[in-house]
Homo-oligomer: A and B are copies of this chain.
Amino acid sequence: MTRPRKKEITINDIAAECGVSYQTVSRAINGMGDISKETRSRVLKVAERLGYRPNMAARSLVSRQSSVLGMISRDVGLYGSTQVMVSVAKAARTAGYGLMFGELEEENVDAIQRAVNELCAHRVAGILMFQVDADVRALRDSFRNAPFVGLNSDFGYEAPSVLVDQEGASEMATNHLIDLGHSEIAHISGPDGYFVAQRRHQGWLNALARARLTPGPLVKGDFSARSGFEAANALLENHKGRFTAVVAANDQMALGAIRAFEESGFRVPDDVSVVGFDDTPEAEFFRPPLSTVKHDFSRLGQLGVQCLLAQLSGLSSFPKLHIIKPTFVQRLSTGAPTSRPHEIDPPAA
């Protein structure tokens, strides 16, 4: 750990300075009753002057309460995670809470348990879990009585959750392509073990089934632009002429795919239409600008914090499940298919 600090100001210092008891200082600072207006303002003035900063450790120790929330998140590098983190941090602060991180490099249950235990050791008031896919029942022991909320996590109805309707989002994207006249629609999915990847895959299947279309080819990616690039090349190699549109499971993979297609001489959207997910701020400036599904990530974070805080205060009236509806953003990476999809071939480039 660390070497000790020099002394910080305590309420005893303030009490001595003011000529009152530490208890009176405590009352002044916490805004409790049983103290006269003059004493309070006098104490507060001294506290301000001395630069008093309450010792949260001591406070939390005796009051058995905490003013820090914990957050566990996967893939912090990606766009969604960051947005959620920021909005969670903001919502937490406006509610008077700090935010602590228990990241996880690995994705197995052990790592998650370790992260939960670490946060619980610090006695966080509650925990938000973003895109954590693990059996809740296996975690109950670790959580003990610490309240938690799942964000885009595979906790189903077993735990309070805030979810973006990924399946619906994927259906929207796929339906958009179907409406344009596409009948052979491929999918570049996210990696295994990702709730969002699985739901987006399912939505693609649902939309195709409803339109009585057979699913097009499927390639797995890992949410990176590079993997999208490679997935698109794999599609071209193994399924050329057997798809006229691609649903990529996020914007980055869509970007990589578009690049791969164009490198091979296919124009987007003339030869292949591509849709993505997330609507990153850059998607609009891709070439062509990317049709994608927009998610309100900051609302996800806000609702998550609200949901957690409601549990903390015992508000059973607050709904335990929140579904956020995404919206489709049509840009220029999607269009009607060419008339003879089966005969598609790279122009002499």
Q: Mark A106-141, 1 if CB is under 8 A from B, else 0.
A: 000000000001101111011000000000000001
- Say whether A66 faces chain B, with CB atoms less than 8 Å apart: yes
Residues of B within 8 A of A82 (CB): 76-77, 81-82
- Say whether A210 faces chain B, with CB atoms less than 8 Å apart: no
When the two chains form their complex, are residues B122 and A1 in contact, meaning their CB atoms are under 8 A apart? no
When the two chains form their complex, are residues B89 and A103 in contact, meaning their CB atoms are under 8 A apart? yes
Q: Which of A156-164, A168-176, A255-263 faces chain B?
A: A255-263
Size category of the A interface is 35 or more
When the two chains form their complex, are residues A259 and B281 in contact, meaning their CB atoms are under 8 A apart? no
Question: Of B1, B123, B284, which is within 8 A of A66 by CB?
Answer: B1
- Say whether A180 faces chain B, with CB atoms less than 8 Å apart: no
Q: Which residues of A from 43 to 67 have beta carbons under 8 Å from B?
A: 51, 53-58, 60-61, 63-67
- Say whether A282 faces chain B, with CB atoms less than 8 Å apart: yes
When the two chains form their complex, are residues A98 and B100 in contact, meaning their CB atoms are under 8 A apart? yes
When the two chains form their complex, are residues A93 and B98 in contact, meaning their CB atoms are under 8 A apart? no
- Say whether A226 faces chain B, with CB atoms less than 8 Å apart: yes
When the two chains form their complex, are residues B4 and A65 in contact, meaning their CB atoms are under 8 A apart? yes
When the two chains form their complex, are residues B96 and A86 in contact, meaning their CB atoms are under 8 A apart? no
- Say whether A3 faces chain B, with CB atoms less than 8 Å apart: yes
Residues of B within 8 A of A100 (CB): 68, 98-101
Q: How far is the CA of A120 from the CA of B100 in the complex (A)?
A: 14
Number of copies: 2
Q: How far is the CA of A182 from the CA of B55 in the complex (A)?
A: 59
Question: Of B68, B89, B98, B225, which is within 8 A of A281 by CB?
Answer: B225
Q: How far is the CA of A55 from the CA of B58 in the complex (A)?
A: 11
The residue in chain B whose Cβ has the minimal distance to the Cβ of A256 is B285
When the two chains form their complex, are residues A103 and B90 in contact, meaning their CB atoms are under 8 A apart? yes
Q: How far is the CA of A252 from the CA of B86 in the complex (A)?
A: 19
In the assembled complex, the CB of A83 is this many whole angstroms from the nearest CB of chain B, namely 7
- Say whether A36 faces chain B, with CB atoms less than 8 Å apart: no
- Say whether A314 faces chain B, with CB atoms less than 8 Å apart: yes
Q: How far is the CA of A313 from the CA of B86 in the complex (A)?
A: 31
Residues on A lying within 8 angstroms of B by beta carbon are 1-6, 8, 51, 53-58, 60-61, 63-68, 76-77, 81-83, 85-86, 89-90, 93, 96, 98-103, 105, 117-118, 120-123, 125-126, 141, 144-146, 224-226, 228-229, 252, 255-256, 258-259, 262, 281-282, 284-287, 289, 312-314
* 24 CB-based A-B contacts, threshold 8 Å: A1-B63, A1-B96, A2-B65, A2-B67, A2-B125, A3-B313, A8-B144, A51-B144, A53-B121, A55-B121, A55-B123, A56-B121, A57-B61, A57-B122, A68-B100, A76-B82, A89-B103, A93-B103, A98-B118, A99-B100, A100-B100, A226-B284, A258-B287, A259-B289
A3-B314, A4-B65 known; 19 new pairs, CB 8 Å cut-off, are A1-B67, A5-B145, A53-B120, A53-B121, A56-B57, A56-B123, A68-B100, A77-B82, A90-B105, A98-B122, A100-B101, A224-B281, A225-B285, A229-B285, A252-B281, A256-B285, A258-B285, A259-B287, A262-B287
